[in-house]
Structure 1
Amino acid sequence: MGRARRAAVGACAAAVLVPVAAAGCAAGPGDGGDRAGDKSSERTAARTDARSAAQKSRSARLIGDGSTAWTGTQPRQPRVRKLAAGEKPPQFVVFSWDGAGEIGDGLFAHFREVGRKYDAAMTYFLSGIYLLPESKRSQYQAPGHAPGASDIGLLSDAHIEETVDQVREAWLDGSEIGTHFNGHFCGPTGVASWSKEEWKSEIAQAKRFVRRWKTNTGLRDAAPLPFDYDKELTGARTPCLEGGDNLRAAARDLGWRYDTSGVNEQVWPAKKDGLWDLSMQLVPYPGSDREELTMDYNFKVNPLTTPANAQSQMRDGLLAGFERAYTGNRAPLIVGNHFETWHDGAYMRAVEETIKEVCPRKEVRCVSFRQLADWLDAQDPRTLRAMRGLEVGQAPEGGWAALGGRGSGVQ
């Protein structure tokens, strides 16, 4: 698939520019204390976990035509526990990827390696249609569109195979496989117009393309994806951040746990329509008094961006948002990206530099959305309520012990 066609995948959301005043975020898995143990030992253990999972997959319980399989507990998952009263929460950061296909440029594999190196689990929102061959495109029937219609291109057979390999390894790395649905329709006739039942149809098709990629491609001897997609799929981001209300209604019926299809400030998350609202946030936009959404596409279409300053503006904006939370209310930073080379790869480099800078920091956990939801679910609701009372960048008056101390209502 050529770059021009691929660029349609990035049509995520209109640029968000607001006066500096507030920002927004969420929370995730792990302990509040410093990282323990030697990093090289952790990576060695992680590789052992991945090898063990790969070995299990050879004797796995195949599902359906063998495109997916149940291989047991996912490797490299963090320990989750409830915060003690007055304990400082970890600083969570989520890096996520819309579309998540491999088109021969090595970007998927590269960021998987970056994640392993810096102990960063990520969420890959796979477009289901990326596992459907061009010759079978009529199998896709988007609500309100002709059979086979799509606003993004399909992958070549070779790139489907590469995408399956990357998705398989990403899960074994400990990352999450979500969905970006299928045809990426935006605007008046797109996902914003879909009913709850039409969203269920779109989701069912996205699942089917993942669960039947062997049948559709003819690659019956390939290794399966080592997870049950019904159990793995617990959240999503909608195309162009549109249609969230009816999507959440459908997702709630399907037992999903989170949605990341909106715009938040950097404050601790709450549930919306029964799902954790883990939407991206607004962070400072360098060189202005404005804020911008934490996604590469939005920095790209910001009228203040030029090719010359694109990398530094996104990197510095993300780091400013990180520092505001890290030294303040500890609301996690949520970042969205695409495997794109806009402005000669400026945004890819900006994201990689951010990962390298923040993930090794003390008390920082770079996690997937699913891991973040696990941590939130494990907390005392009173503790989360108290943390949600903190404004953007606001550290608790008197310190974290005061926030959870006697008389605070958080025990």
Structure 2
Amino acid sequence: MAPTSPRRPRLLAAGAAALSVVVSLLAAPGVAAAPTSAPPTTASPNATTSDVARAAACGDGADALVTGSQSSGFTATYHGQTVYQGEYYITAIWEAIGALDPGRTSQEKVSVMASAWIGNNTIDLPSHTAFEVCGTLDTGYVAGRGAIQAIGVQDVSIPTLNLTGAPYFGLRFADVDDLHLGQIDLRMTGGIGIRFERDLPGSSNVRIDSVYASGMPGHAIETWHIDGLRIGTVTARNVGESGLLIQGTSNATIGTVDGENVGTGTGYATFRMANDNGPNVTVDRVRSRGGGRGVFCVSNSRGARINSVDLANTGNNSILIENCSDITVAGGTVNGGGEVRLAARSEFPNNRNIHIALRVDNTSVRESPCGENTTWNLSGNGSRNIC
């Protein structure tokens, strides 16, 4: 049976048979065994030559390595010394992390070369740690926790990750300073892909290069309380809620948010700002096809500019701006789908300083009630009912 809590001390190699006995004694009952075969390594369907080069380099410069397979067992080494050898993938990962220098003031790296299932367990990353999965990590479910998480730490990076399964959260963060996520591939059947917690202290200096997310019933990425966020690309496919939802997040620079069949049948959007989000948010491009909404700003969010949109055939509003201020959509196209709408609810201040420049075809544009200092620059055949 797979273990349910990490063992942190370093282990010395004392032979596979002796280690197998130790692991058996430490194993907890009630958790399903690892699968008999590891899932295949996955890669983004839009991978470029540079992406392939980065993937090929996964594992370079590692201080600790996890190798092996479900059939042959797993080995964790630290600077060439064996610290674990046995049947449990999750224990090999825990031991590799636990073997890192406890007094380090700069990053050491753990590279997981093996693919397998970690069971219903969590990988907690301490400060000054780089953790990458060069194979595919398949995960179970732990309520309220991430398959991988970093809470109350600094200087953490996940350069490469391929993750499958149905966790509560794929990745979970809070109170993190200086976090870097590189090439992240999440193909999940449950939970939320990446979550920054609402009810814990916020995070700062967060950089995310590229996320491909598909299949999860929740959000691909949901942030709370980040000061200083940089995102390259978020690609969401067949996601139940939002592609990228940012809340209480300021000083953010985002490249492309690209969604297909995101939030179908819901009020969520490929890109959503909510709950006092902002200010100083810039998004280069939002592309959305089908799904729920394309762009949604709500609940007193403010201070954001979207340079360009490409929205078509959304099932709900193409764009909904509701009780927001200082919002600019600087260009792009809307074709078919739900209307472009400026709206307001009574519990928040009315829209203020909203500036929209768009080509809108085959759907309508409506502003009700009238906001304060709204400017429109519209083209296309879409009908208009604006102030």
Same fold (TM over 0.5): no
Computing the radius of gyration from Cα coordinates, the structure with the larger value is 2
Q: Which has the higher strand share?
A: 2
TM-score by length of 1: 0.26
Q: Which has the higher helix share?
A: 1
